[in-house]
Structures are given as C-alpha cells and as structure tokens.
A and B are shown apart, each in its own frame.
Chain A
C-alpha cells in the first residue's frame, strides 16, 4: 500500500520513460529510463529584453542513480523514437524520495 499520494517513480518510468545513459563526473555510464517533466518556457535574463527558451527538467531514479551532481552527462531522446541528444545537468530542480529532478541544458555540440 502506498504511503502517500505520490506516484512511485517506477510507475512513471514504465509509463513515460525514455531510454537514457547517465554518466556522473568521473563515473561510469549507467543505462536507465529517464522521464521528461513538462517544460516551462521562461524568459532569460529576468530583464526587460530577454529570450524565451525551454527550461528542461529530467527526472532520474534515485534507486538506480543516487547522486546526480552538476555536470552529469545524460544521453537521451526528447521523445521515444527521436534522435538521442546529449544533455548536461545544470542544476538541481527538485529532490523527491525516489527520484531527482534536474535542470538540463544542451551539450556543447548541441548549442
């Protein structure tokens, strides 16, 4: 019986996951299913003249990958069947009991 109303991350992976490879700095690649969270499109910088761009959030299982520090490299498609792209973890977005949500930016070859 679930302890609260949160959907277990394993169920989200099953329903919405895309195959990915996560490599933390100085670590070895780990294959897992990552989950894209609905992105927002804020303006940067927070000034009068700005550029809108997607604020991309990826969710990663803490059971499979307990630590996701800044600089972690993730290779995954944005949708199932799309071409895989490289993403760099830029910042922690949210920490939950069973998963980590991180802000990612396109890898160097993508910018």
Chain B
C-alpha cells in the first residue's frame, strides 16, 4: 500500500478526530456520526439532526524548491480546513445548539497533539470561529471552525 501524502495524512487525522463527536463519547452532540468530506450535500428534513462537513480550502504554498545547492528544497504550505456543522436547533434557545457543536468541534480537534501525528511543520492553528444563527422560518443552526495546517513537502509531494 503506498504511503499517504502529507495532505492525506492531515485529513485522515482530522477525520478521525471529528468522527468521534457523539453523545456516547461524552460530547454534547452526535454531529460526528454523519461526516461529509469532499462533498457538500444539501441535507433534508429526513436526514440526521446533526452532521459535519470537512471543507478543504485552497492551499497557500511558498515554493522554496529548485533554488541554490539543494534543488529539491522544500515547499512550505498552509492548508486551511474548516469543520462546518449543521444541527437541529433548540427553538427556545438556539444559541445552546450552536455553542454545543462549536464546543464539540474544538474539543475533538484540539488535542495535545498539535502536529496531527507528526506531519505538521508548525502546530495546528485555529482560525475565526463562525456561528450561523437560526434564520426566520428555519429549525437549523450551524457553525464553522477553521484550522490552518502548515506542512512541508518536497517537489513531488513527498514528506520532508
């Protein structure tokens, strides 16, 4: 079996962490029981009350390869990954539903291992958390917690 790329390793570790979000595991919601990666379906009323999506955004790369005495060099990249959630709202206190899923995402992702299993060049960083309040006529709330994963790889995509 071929080795995973650095990007694949990062996403695999994040998927593993957020998949654990379930009431049975001590979290406030069951959002991790339905996780979408690489697709963004519009869920319907018959789908689970809570779900997550891992959204991989455009990588920002500083290409330091091909220069000087070490032509292989390295490419230093920042990969933004946002964990978005949609959950059924408590209609009396929708903020409780929003904050519950935000807390779950942070608890699941932000473990003591900020290198995601040793693949990151810099500790995993959290970006600007967003809360999506309940809109008129809706029973849904949401949230987005973005992370920045900084990693180094060689020309060709191998780990360095």
Q: Which residues of A contact B (CB under 8 A)?
A: 43-57, 88, 90-91, 93, 103-106, 108, 111
Contact = CB atoms under 8 A, between A and B. Distances in A.
Of the listed residues B45, B47, B55, B136, the one surrounded by the most CB atoms of chain A closer than 10 A to its CB is B136
Contact of A44 (B40, B55, B135): B135
Contacts, number: 79
Contact of B137 (A51, A103, A108): A103
Interface of B: 36, 40, 42-45, 47, 51, 53, 55, 84-86, 88, 91-92, 132-142, 144
A53 B139 contact: yes
A104 B141 CA distance: 16
Contacts of B53: 48-49
Nearest to B85: A49
B132 A51 contact: no
Given A108-B91, A111-B91, A49 B36 contact: yes
